[in-house]
Structure 1
Amino acid sequence: MNRSTIIAATILFVIVAYFGLRSVMRGSISSHKEEPVAESVADVPSAVIETLNAEPHMMRVKAKGRTEPDKIVTVKAGTTGTVVSTPAKEGSFVRAGTLLCGLDVEARSARVKEAEAQRASAEVSYQAAASLAEKGLGPVNQATAAKAQLDAAEAAVNAAKVELGKTQIRAPFDGIFETRLAEAGDFLSPGQACGVLVDMDPVIISVQVSEAVAGKLKVGMTGDALLADGRSFPATLRYVARTASETTRTFLVEAALDTGDAIVAAGVTSQLVLPVGNVQAMKISAGLLTLSDAGQMGIRYVDATDTVRFAEVTVIDETPNGAWITGLPDQADVIALGQDYLSEGANVKPVPAGGAQP
C-alpha cells in the first residue's frame, strides 16, 4: 500500500470518528433535556386529606358579664332628724317594712296628738251644727262650714302621722341590708342615706352583646350561666335592650339565674350561654385552622380538580373534642397535614388520611 492510500484512509477514519462522536454527544444531551420533564411529573406534591361533611349543630351565643342583684336601692331619709337606732345588721336578710334607721321623733308625736285633739273638737262642732240644721234650728251653711273644718282637721292628722312615719326608715322590699351608711348620732336631712338594700332573688347576669347577636335573642329563651368559680346555673332571658350603648354600640342583655338554695354573690365574672338554633356546620380539630396571606382565618382544602383552595370560616362553637365551623362546602376534602406548606392554586395528589404513610 502506497503512502497516498494510507493518508487517505487515515483522513476518512478521522472524519467517521468525528461524526460518530457528535451523534453520541447529541443523544446524550437529548436524554438530559428529557429528564426534567419526568422529574416535573414526579414533583407533584401529595396532600393528606380528610373528607368532612356538614351536619346540623346547635348554635350558641356566648357572652361574658357579671352577676348582679335583681334590685339595689339606697334607702334615704324623708325628713330631718338625728339617728337614734340602727337595729338592722349589715349583711342580714330583712323583710319589707323592717326598721333600718330610726330618727328622733322630737315634737312630731306631740303634733299628731294635737291634730287629733283638733279633729275631735271639729267633729263635735260639726255634729252639733248638723243636728241643729236638720231640726231647722240652725242655718245649713253653718253645718257646711263645720264639715269643712272637720275635713281640714282630718287632713292635719294625716299630715302629722306621715311626718311622724318618716322618722322610721324601713325596708321597701325583702332583701339583704348590704351596707349601713348612717350610725346612731348622725343627723340626716331629707335625701341623705341610711343604707343600701339589695334583692338577690333572683340573681341576674348582665352582659353586652353585638347588634348581630341581639337580633337573635328573645325574652324567655333559656340557657346556662357559667360562673368563674366553676358553678353552672340555669338562666332565663328576661331583658334585651333595643337601644345600643352610645360608646360601645352594644346591647344590654339580662338573664335571671335559678340558683336554688345556693348563695351567689353579685359582681362574679360569668358567661351566659344561650342556644339560638341549628345551623349546618362541620366539626374539625382546632389545629386545622390556618391564616391566609391576607390574615383571614380559614381552612385549606382540595377541590374536584385536585387544586388547593382556601375558605374563610367562622367558629360558632368550641368543645373539648373540636371546633364547629361554617364557611366550607357541605362536603370538603380538608388538608389534614401541612396546610401551611401548600399554597392556594397549587395542584396536588390527594391521599386519604387513613392511607397516608408516615
Structure 2
Amino acid sequence: MKLRFFHSAIITATAGILVFSACSPGDQPAQTSHIKAITVKTTLPSQGNKEGITASGQLQSSRSADISTRVMGYITVIHVKAGDRVTKGQLLVSISNEDILAKKAQTEAAIAEASAAYQNAAKDFQRYNALYKEQSASAKELDNISLQYASAGARLKAAKQMKNEAQAMLAYTNLRAPFSGVVTRKLADAGNMASPGLPLLTIEQQGEFEVTAAIPETEITKLKNGQQAKMSIKSGGKTFTGVIREINQSSASTGGQYLIKITVPANEKKGLYSGMYVNVFIPIARETGSVTNEGSILVPLKSIVMRDQMTGIYTVSNSSQAVLRWVRLGKQYNGEAEVLSGLGKDEKFILEAQGRLFNGVPVKESNQ
C-alpha cells in the first residue's frame, strides 16, 4: 500500500509541474519578442499608365566591322588577338600572295609588250599620215594603219587594267583596320584557309553603344523613330532611357520578328560591355478598352515572394511585424509587376530587408 501511494504521489507531482510549465506566460512559442528586429526599407506602390511593349535586347557597339578578304589563300600571320586595341590602318592579317605576285609579274610583262607594239603602231601611223598628205599612200592604207594604232592602244590599256586588278587583289592579302577600336572576336588562326567573305576578325569601336531588340509583328506598328525606350541591364540592374533610331521594315531573315535599334546615352556607357542582355520597355499611349487602367498599382519584381503557385509581398503590421500578404499579379513591365488585388495603392510594402523575412518577425523601418 505504501509503495502504491508513493507512485501516485510522484505522478501527481509530475503532472503538476507540467501544467505549471505549460501555463507559464514567459515561454509562449508563438511569441517573437526575443527575436531581434530586422531593419527593412519600405515604400508605396508606383502608379500610372504603364501600357507598353516589353522585349529582350542585346547591347552592341554602334559601329562594328567583320574583317574578311576577297581572295582565297592560306593565312600566314594574324597579328592581333581578341581584346587588343587597334588603330586605323594597322595591319591585322597577312595571307599568302605568291600566286597574285606571279599574276602581277605577268601583267607587267604584258604591259611591256603592249607598250612596244603601241609605240611601233604610233610611228607607222605618223609615217602613213605624212605619206597620205603627199598622196603617196591611199586612204585605205591609212585606215588600216589607224585601226592597228587604235588596237595597240586598247591592248596597252587592258594590260594596265590587269595590273591594277592584280595590285588590288594583292592589297586584300594584307588586311588592315578600317577604324580604331577593339578586336572583339578572333575567328581564324594562322594556317587556316581564308575564303572570300568569310569573317576572320570582328572589330568594334568603343564608346558608342546601341541596343538591338526584336519586336513581334503585332506590336511593330505601334513604334516610330524618336520614341523613348526604358532599358535595364539584366546582369547588373543598371537602368537608363534611350531613343529608337531605326526600325527594320522586313522580318524575312528574323523569323517574323522586326529588329529595332535604340541609342544609349553617352553618359550611361560606363560599366557597359558589348554583348550584355537588356530588358526593354517601350511606353505607348493607352488604347481604348485597354485592360491596364490609369493609376494601376505597380511593385518591383524583386519584392515579390513565390510560394509554390502563389505570389505574395511582405507588408508591415501596426505592431511592427512582417506580414506576408498574398497578391494577384497582372502584366509585367520593365522590372515591375502590376498588382490586381491584395495590396492597396496607399499601403506600404517591404522593398529590402537586412535579414531573412518570415511571418511575425519584428521589423524596424529605415528608409535612409
1:221 and 2:221 matched: no
Q: Match of 2:75? A: 83
Is 1:115–2:107 an aligned residue pair?
yes
- 1:282 maps to what in 2? 295
User: Is residue 48–residue 297 contact of structure 2 (8 Å, CA) maintained in 1?
Assistant: no
Deviations 1:139-159 (A, max 9, x none): 212211211221221122122
Residue pairs, 1:143-292, within 5 angstroms: 143-172=149-178, 174-190=180-196, 193-198=199-204, 202-228=208-234, 229-242=236-249, 250-260=257-267, 262=270, 264-277=272-285, 281-284=294-297
Task: State the partner residue of 1:65.
Answer: 57
**Rg larger in structure:** 1
User: 2 CA distance for matches of 1:81 and 1:160?
Assistant: 15
Native 8 Å contact 1:96 1:170 kept in 2: yes
> What are the equivalent positions in structure 2 for 1:8-87 lying under 5 Å apart?
57=49, 59-70=51-62, 74-87=66-79
Distance change >3 Å, CA 234–CA 105, structure 1 → 2: same
Q: What is the match of residue 12 of structure 1?
A: none
Relative to the length of structure 2, the TM-score reads 0.53
Which 10-residue stretch deviates more, 268-277 or 152-161? 268-277
> Does the CA contact (< 8 Å) of 1:60 and 1:316 recur in 2?
no
Q: For each residue in 1:200-248, what CA deviation from the matched residue of structure 2 results, as whole angstroms up to 9, or x when unmatched?
A: 6642223334445323210121233221313234422123345568998
1:95 Cα deviation after fit: 4.5
Q: Distance in 2 between matches of 1:318 and 1:158?
A: 57
Distance 1:64 1:189, change over 3 A: closer
| Structure-2 change in CA distance of 1:263 and 1:173 (3 Å) | farther
State the identity as a percent.
Answer: 22
Q: Structure 1 residue 199: deviation in Å?
A: 5.0
Contact 1:233 1:259 in 2 (8 A): no
Superposed displacement of residue 189, structure 1: 4.7
User: CA, structure 1 residues 155+212, in 2 after alignment: closer, same or farther (shift >3 Å)?
Assistant: closer
Report if aligned partners of 1:86, 1:101 keep a CA contact under 8 Å in 2: yes
Whichever structure has more strand as a proportion of its residues is: 1
After TM superposition, which residue ranges in structure 1, 4 or more long, deviate above 6 angstroms? 245-248, 316-320, 334-337
1:76-128: CA deviations, max 9, x gaps?
A: 34333333322223222335543221023225335424423432442343244
Alignment partner of 1:94 is 2:86: yes
TM-score normalised by length of structure 1? 0.55
The change in CA–CA distance for 1:157 and 1:79 in structure 2 (over 3 A counts) is: same
1:315 shift after superposition: 5.6
Cα–Cα, structure 1 residues 318 and 128, in superposed 2: closer, same or farther, change >3 Å? closer
Contact 2:281 2:333 (8 Å CA) reproduced: no
C-alpha RMSD of matched pairs (Å): 4.2
1:283/1:58 Cα in 2 relative to 1: closer, same or farther (>3 Å)? closer
User: What stretches of structure 1 of length at least 5 have no aligned partner?
Assistant: 1-54, 287-312, 326-333, 338-358
Give the Å deviation of 1:271. Answer: 1.9
